[in-house]
Amino acid sequence: MTIKIGNAPCSWGVEFADDPRNPQWRDVLRENAEAGYKGIELGPVGFMPEDPAILADALAEHDQELIGGVVFRPFHDP
């Protein structure tokens, strides 16, 4: 059995797309690839490009696959 392990922008401290302390999304893709990962999550909506063509090109450039996404929304109203 083969297990594939990916990573996510939260490993770089990315929790909110508009945080000025975030690294550049292209740096995250590059560093993820340099660390040996082949897959990455999108991170919070708006961190990586929302244009599928731009994102697909960047993923291909770094030999990465998109493996998941994140949605920060309440699931109920207490």
Angle at 55 between CA 53 and CA 56, to 5 degrees: 65
Q: How confident is the model at residue 32, as a pLDDT?
A: 98
Q: Where are the domains of the chain?
A: 9-68
Q: How confident is the model at residue 70, as a pLDDT?
A: 75
pLDDT tens figures, 54-68:
999 999 999 999 998
Q: How confident is the model at residue 77, as a pLDDT?
A: 76
Q: What is the 3-state secondary structure (H, E, C) of 29-65?
A: HHHHHHCCCCEEECCCCCCCCCCHHHHHHHHHHCCCE
